[in-house]
Amino acid sequence: MTNIQWPELIIFTILFAVVTVLGFVASRWKAGNTLDHLDEWGLGGRKFGSWITWFLLGGDLYTAYTFVAVPALMFSAGAMGLFALPYTIIVYPIVLMPALRMWSVSRVRGYVTPADFVRGRFGSPTLALLIAITGIIATMPYIALQLVGLEAVLRTMGINGSGIVGHLPLLVAFIILAVYTYQSGLRAPALIAFVKDILIYLVIIVAIIYLPSKLGGWSAIFDSAQAKFDKTPSKADGILLNANNQLQYATLALGSALALFLYPHSLTSVLASRGRSVIKRNMVALPAYSLVLGLLALLGYVAISASVSPITNNATGKPDTNTVVPVLFDSQFSSWFAGIAFAAIGIGALVPAAIMSIAAANLWTRNIYKEYIKKDATPGQEAKQAKLASLIVKFGAVAFILFIDPQFSIDLQLIGGVLILQTLPAVAISLYTRWFHRWGLIAGWIVGIGWGLIMLYNIPNAATGKAHFGGSALSMGNLSIFGWHPFSGSQLQIYVGFVALVANLLIAVIFTVIARQMKVFNGTDDTAPEDYHADEHDKDLREIGVH
């Protein structure tokens, strides 16, 4: 670890220390009677108002990996990287009504996880278990990717070792995160999100005004990007989409929008809200983050214009494109401002990582531990299990970085997105109708997950030389249905998750029709129609913090 950028590292460390203090203080912030209950530890007492929820959701959905990966994708592939912009715009009107219904029924029935809702809606522990396992598996690599973003910053500051010593600062950071999350629960990332978002907005506003003026304006920046892409033999990159990747762009954006609020950490932030009005305001206000995301994405083109070269990861010997934005800040700004920018990205890793680990821990506790291991678990025992599980999840994510190529974590996250999308029929659609039979939903899940994984396995990556799991874009000509290629010869690409979801829904419908014709029992629905419209001031609401 030579050439350490001490000014940046000192500022980064100071700001990191500030949020660490906030993390511990958070245990007494808006505290209830006890943290030994999932309502309090895992959902912050279900009483966050509009501002807190806005920062919490923003910190949850717009992660450190987003801040480094989207510009890196723009740097490498061009316009395709902008899929993140329309998907974070259309997601809020899509999820507004389902989010309200999920909040209401969860508030009335005491549900903490989406699998809780599925268990109550269909009376099926098996279906709930599948939803819980999917959520945990999809979340694990997502947490690991926050580490990828944090490591990109550390690498830029000169901490780029090839062994365990090189990862030591990362390990220390996550030990601290683990301790204050264990103590404070969801209140810790909620409080820290204020600092993270203020820093992010400060950095991006300065960067988007200062850098173009320094590099000759946006016209020169776009010309530089186009010149770079013109020199590459690939026809998939460029500042404009081409005929083959437009369908992929559209289906990836739509599929990602449908999947985003199926992730357990997204729903955790929704369920922590005080009432339906809070969620409504946030669905209107959250697109402000999409504006920031669009500006951040353009930094990928700015990095091209600034002749930025990614830093080589000494652990793998390969260039780490995730360092593009950190290197851009390091080369174009003074040390003190670069340090602030690095802290913004680093803290941006801690907030979502904490929320994700809490959400995964809630799934384990409610839908595996309590359902199958200790049915008579007390609220205190549930909270204890969740705290321990959150530690295991965090250090499992660290293990991805320590012992596995970080690129594999990125590939796993692509798989995670395809997997979590297959929970849409059981979670989102079932908020509106119970027409689907629980065995139809299970059959659809099996087909969607299975076929999705098969399609992902058969996608190569020419850039890295990988024969399998090389991305999520499937050429329509390679789409095979039991050996039949309906689009043989087509070079048009489509998002694998979208194809798998269509198959999932089709199978769910077929099995539901069969089950209904055979009059197979569809479980008991514990919810009532009025549950889906309850609000914070309704009388007879279930008391928070009790069973």
DSSP state of 242: -
Task: Give the list of residues 6+ apart from residue 112 with CB closer than 8 angstroms, or none.
Answer: 38, 39, 42, 43, 106, 271, 362, 366
User: b vs e for 241-251, b when ≥16 Cβ sit within 10 Å of the residue's Cβ?
Assistant: beebbebbbbb
DSSP 159: -
**What's the pLDDT band for 237 if we cut at 50, 70, 90?**
confident
* Tokens read off for 509: 């419908």
Question: How many Å separate Cα 357 from the centre of its chain?
Answer: 11
- Rg over alpha carbons for the chain, rounded to the nearest Å, is 23
Mean pLDDT of 232-246: 84
Q: According to DSSP H, which parts of 379-437 are helical?
A: 379-403, 406-421, 424-427
- Helix, strand, or coil (residue 424): helix
Cβ neighbour number for residue 216 with a 10 Å cutoff? 12
Distance of CA 170 to the CA centre of its chain: 20
Residues 6+ apart with CB under 8 A from 455: 474, 479, 496, 499, 500
Q: Which structure tokens are listed for 332? A: 């174009």
C-beta of residue 142 within 8 angstroms of C-beta of residue 355: no
Whole-angstrom Cα distance, residue 363 to residue 353? 15
Domains of the chain and CATH, by start: 6-424 (1.20.1730.10)
Winning range, highest mean pLDDT, from 238-242, 349-353, 425-429, 472-476: 425-429
| pLDDT above 90 (res 383) | yes
Q: What tokens were used for 17?
A: 């220390």
| CA distance linking residue 58 with residue 269, whole number of Å | 10
Nearest to 260 by CA among 54, 96, 506: 96
Query: Strand 473-475 vs strand 493-495: parallel, antiparallel, or unpaired?
Result: antiparallel
Residue in this structure with the two tokens 């991006």, named with its chain if needed = 204
Query: Can you tell me which residue has the tokens 């099926």?
Result: 124
Q: In 3D, which of 83, 61, 85 has the Cα closest to residue 290?
A: 85
**Residue scoring higher pLDDT (314 or 139):** 139
Structure tokens at 190: 């909620």
In degrees rounded to 5, what are phi and psi of residue 473? -100, 120
- Point out the least confidently predicted range of 138-142, 259-263, 433-437, 538-542: 538-542
- The span from the CA of 9 to the CA of 146, in Å, is 19
510's enclosing H/E stretch is helix 496-517
pLDDT for 195-227, tens place per residue? 999 999 999 999 999 999 999 999 999 999 999
State pLDDT tens for residues 86-121: 999 999 999 999 999 999 999 999 999 999 999 999
pLDDT at 407 over 90: no
Q: Which residue carries 């020169």 as its tokens?
A: 220
At 408 the pLDDT is 60
Work out the average pLDDT over 414-429. Answer: 94
Q: Retrieve residue 183's tokens.
A: 């103590």
Q: Region 330-339: what's the mean pLDDT?
A: 95
Say if CB 175 and CB 155 are below 8 A apart.
Answer: no
Using the predicted structure, report yes or no on whether residue 270 has a pLDDT greater than 80: yes
Confidence of residue 398 (pLDDT cuts 50, 70, 90): confident
Between CA 163 and CA 92 the distance in angstroms is 43
Instruction: Indicate the pLDDT class of residue 151, thresholds 50, 70 and 90.
Output: confident
Q: What is the structure's pLDDT at 220?
A: 96
- Average pLDDT over all residues of the chain: 91
Helix H or strand E segment including 209: helix 187-214
**Of 256, 235, 217, 205, residue with least CA distance to 82:** 256
First to last CA, the chain: 53
pLDDT at 169: 77
What is the per-residue pLDDT across 448-478, written as a single tens digit (0 to 9) for each? 999 999 999 999 876 667 788 888 899 999 9
**455, 495 contact by CB (below 8 A):** no
> What is the SS3 assignment for 328-368?
HHHHHCCHHHHHHHHHHHHHHHHHHHHHHHHHHHHHHHHHH
